[in-house]
Amino acid sequence: MYKAVFIDIDGTLLKNDHTISEASISIIQRLKENNILVVLVSARPLHGILPIASEIGLINFPIASLNGAFIVVEEKAIFESTIDISIIIQLYKELQKYNAPLIFYQQTRWFAEMRNLNTDSEQKITPVPIIIEPFNNLLGTWKNEKTGPNKILVIAEAAVINEIQNNLKPRFINQLNIYTSKPTYLEIMNIEASKINAVKFIIHRYNIKREEIIALGDNFNDKEMITYAGTGIAMGNAPDEVKAAADYVTETNNNDGVPKALMKFIDL
């Protein structure tokens, strides 16, 4: 019997037009009625998830934002992981070589050095205005507060992202988790922060066993949680590598892949 379902948002729960189908809303309601824990697990910041959670009735459930770097229940933090200042400085210097804009996320705030098409695109999915601030100012604030960002997002052409990832991963293998959430987005977090670690943290908190969970996702940052879950489900729009890691491949996000998969595995 399944006791928890972990669902990625973009490319999984949401259709390409960023809407949620009535079938998806209905299946989530039925999961709740059957006392099954439903957890949104996303690369999005919390403020980009809360409107969705509210729409589908999950505002009081656990939410794992920023690829698991910031986890809340009823909007109260239960886990947080930040990137060390010394590593941030190294990353910033290295990434200047690629002329790739960086976005820094910290809890419910997000920062960049300048506005551009990429920040404008991200702003469309969140109600919280971006804070434009020179990097050195941000660095000074983080040093004073003895903290740092939960996540750094690098946005560039797919070939550039691939080059950056191949460069950074071996150098920071024991310090950072580095994933693509889509070909043009590179997500950088502390080694403690990942979707699989978020799943492990939450099921331990709720005394749920690994074999009692389902995880659904569509991209490389979902692969580990799909592999870990008792039943891991890849979307029909997922890359082949992610599909190969799954127990089952469902329909695409535009064709109600989430409710169709859940109806197959859970007797509702």
Residue 177, domain CATH: 3.30.1240.10
For the chain, first and last CA: distance in Å? 11
CB 191 within 8 Å of CB 169: no
The pLDDT > 70 percentage for the chain reads 100
Helical residues (DSSP H) of the chain, grouped into ranges: 22-33, 46-55, 85-95, 117-123, 135-145, 158-171, 195-205, 223-228, 240-245, 257-265
Question: Which of the following is catalytic: 8, 10, 218, 222?
Answer: 8
The pLDDT > 90 percentage for the chain reads 89
Domains held by the chain: number? 2
CB 71 within 8 Å of CB 192: no
Does the pLDDT value for residue 37 go beyond 90? yes
Q: Which of 135, 161, 190 is the last residue of a domain?
A: 190
Q: What's the rounded mean pLDDT across residues 38-58? A: 95
Can you give the pLDDT at residue 104? 97
Say how far apart CA 23 and CA 182 lie, in whole Å: 25
* Residue 247 DSSP one-character state: S
Q: Are residue 177 and residue 232 in the same domain, yes or no?
A: no
Q: What is the pLDDT of residues 124-152, one digit of tens each?
A: 888 889 999 999 999 999 999 999 999 99
Q: Which of 165, 190, 215 is the last residue of a domain?
A: 190
Can you give the pLDDT at residue 100? 83
Can you give the pLDDT at residue 99? 83
* Residue ranges making up the domain that contains 127: 85-190
Q: What's the rounded mean pLDDT across residues 166-180? A: 95
Dihedral pair phi/psi, residue 101, rounded to 5°: -65, 145
CB 22 within 8 Å of CB 231: no
Say how far apart CA 54 and CA 29 lie, in whole Å: 12
Can you give the pLDDT at residue 89? 95
Give the number of C-alpha atoms closer than 13 A to the C-alpha of residue 205, restricted to the C-beta side.
16
Specify the pairing of strand 231-234 against strand 248-249.
parallel
Does the pLDDT value for residue 101 go beyond 90? no
Q: Are residue 67 and residue 198 in the same domain, yes or no?
A: yes
What DSSP letter does each residue of 226-237 carry, written as one string?
HHHSSEEEE-TT
What Rg do the C-alpha atoms of the chain give, in angstroms? 18
8 tagged catalytic: yes
